[in-house]
Amino acid sequence: MQLKIEVLVNSPGPHDSVRIRQPFEAIQRLGIDCRIHERPFRFQKCIRPNSLVIWQRPLPSSEERMKEHLEWLRERGCILLIDWDDHPELLPNAVVQEMKNQKMAALKYNHCILTSNTELAEYLSKFNPLCITLENGVEIIRDLNKEKHAQEFRINNKLKVFIGNLNRAQENTSIERKLRSWIERDQRIELVMVGQKDLEGGITGENVQAYEILDYQAYRSLLSTCHIALAPLENNKPNNCKTVLKWQECAAESVAVIGGPALYKKQLSSDTGIWVKSLADIVTKAEELSIDHMLRINLVTKAWNQLNNGWTLRNQLYWRLWLLGEIWKKRYIIDKGLVKRLKLAKNFGSKNNESFTCEPWNSC
């Protein structure tokens, strides 16, 4: 049976570009029968029988509702894969509470979870043991740009420092005082902030650019004008379950990254960025890097090369497609595993839920 893919984008926005939209649009360009749908979904209209359904971050209204979604899909010969790329504890509090109220139903009632980090896969496997890691890969990679780092920035020029740490109030608060002091003390530095509501009140001035969350292309264009990016992540389990996507995007735009203490040191080479031991070191290292243009050149060159040697969508696309094909080939075995795990009847057949719609991911 020919592979048919239905992709349900439940959380549309700039954050879904790399994880969902770009790879599946690339799969479409290969001639695969793949359709992408945005909420609200009416299953009868958008899900074809005998298809591989990939649902991004579903948030049903209840545990029972998620069971019914799964029932409806199984009755029509479909396999349900949930794409889940973040530790639940990093989501907004309202979403986390809603998931707990539903007894984590979206993570339990599915055939397989697709995720982006091996540690996250290990955590999510307690809800469904069939949990597969598909790392992110960026599609847009500009030519290596050493020129913007080639010499010390002149008195009339600015060295741009980027921070776009979404939903990281604790990390941002911990560096705010030092960051504000640096910007006020060194007028050659320009801070570029995207989506940083918790920093906007404390760091202001003519050397500060503050933006709302941008669409993906605008975000990447803005990032390309920067020299250094700050990626502070407190060292804990949820943060180590994230991906190095921010580094990938910076590498694609020749921006030097200062990150950690979580995640980056564990995932990346020490010569492709500066990985701090403490959040207190982030701004200090940024100051040092701002005056060392040769180190910036070395870092962005090594990062750009490492990105192109395996972290691109181009490198990963055929692996993704092969994996989805193998899941579809083994759909009967996978469905038997689901039935055994959830102790379901072999055929649900109890309802005809033709009018199902999914609830939106309101808070994310």
Give one DSSP letter per residue of 327-344, joined into a string. HHHTHHHHHHHHHHHHT-
Report whether 18 contacts 139 (CB < 8 A).
Answer: yes
- Is the Cα torsion angle 237, 239, 245, 246 positive or negative in sign? negative
Indicate if the pLDDT at residue 346 is higher than 60. Answer: no
Confidence of residue 172 (pLDDT cuts 50, 70, 90): confident
Which pLDDT value is given to residue 251?
97
Q: Output 220 or 343, whichever has higher pLDDT.
A: 220
Find, among 340, 307, 339, the residue nearest to 141 by Cα. 307
- Residues of the chain with pLDDT > 90, as a percent, come to 72
Q: How many CB atoms lie within 10 A of CB 152?
A: 13
Q: Are strands 208-211 and 159-163 parallel, antiparallel or unpaired?
A: unpaired
Which pLDDT value is given to residue 2?
87
Our measurement of the distance from residue 100's CA atom to the centroid of its chain's CA atoms, rounded to an integer in Å, reads: 22
Which pLDDT value is given to residue 189?
93
Which pLDDT value is given to residue 125?
96
Residue carrying the six token digits 């960051």: 179
Confidence of residue 269 (pLDDT cuts 50, 70, 90): very high
Mean residue pLDDT across the chain:
88
Q: Output 59 or 112, whichever has higher pLDDT.
A: 112
CA-CA distance, 262 to 241, in Å (whole number)? 9
pLDDT digits (tens, 9 = 90+) for 96-153: 899 999 999 999 999 999 999 999 999 999 999 999 999 999 999 999 999 999 876 6
Helix axes 331-342, 313-329, angle to 10 degrees: 70
Order across the sheet with 208-211: list the strands.
208-211, 189-194, 159-163, 228-233, 256-261, 274-275
Which pLDDT value is given to residue 170?
82
Following CA atoms 137, 229, 288, 267 in sequence, which dihedral angle do they give, to the nearest 10 degrees? -30
Instruction: Write down the pTM of the prediction.
Output: 0.89
Indicate if the pLDDT at residue 353 is higher than 60. Answer: no
Q: Output 351 or 196, whichever has higher pLDDT.
A: 196
Report whether 255 contacts 226 (CB < 8 A).
Answer: yes
- Residues of the chain with pLDDT > 70, as a percent, come to 92
Range name among 79-83, 123-127, 199-203, 307-311 with the lowest pLDDT average: 199-203
Find, among 148, 153, 234, 150, the residue nearest to 188 by Cα. 153
Which pLDDT value is given to residue 23?
95
What's at 13, amino acid-wise? G
Indicate if the pLDDT at residue 154 is higher than 90. Answer: no
Report whether 94 contacts 69 (CB < 8 A).
Answer: no
Find, among 11, 316, 265, the residue nearest to 141 by Cα. 316
Tokens standing for 61? 């209204």
Which pLDDT value is given to residue 361?
30
Residue carrying the six token digits 């980027």: 162
Q: How many CB atoms lie within 10 A of CB 189?
A: 22
Indicate if the pLDDT at residue 282 is higher than 50. Answer: yes
Which pLDDT value is given to residue 350?
40
Average pLDDT of the segment spanning 316-327: 94
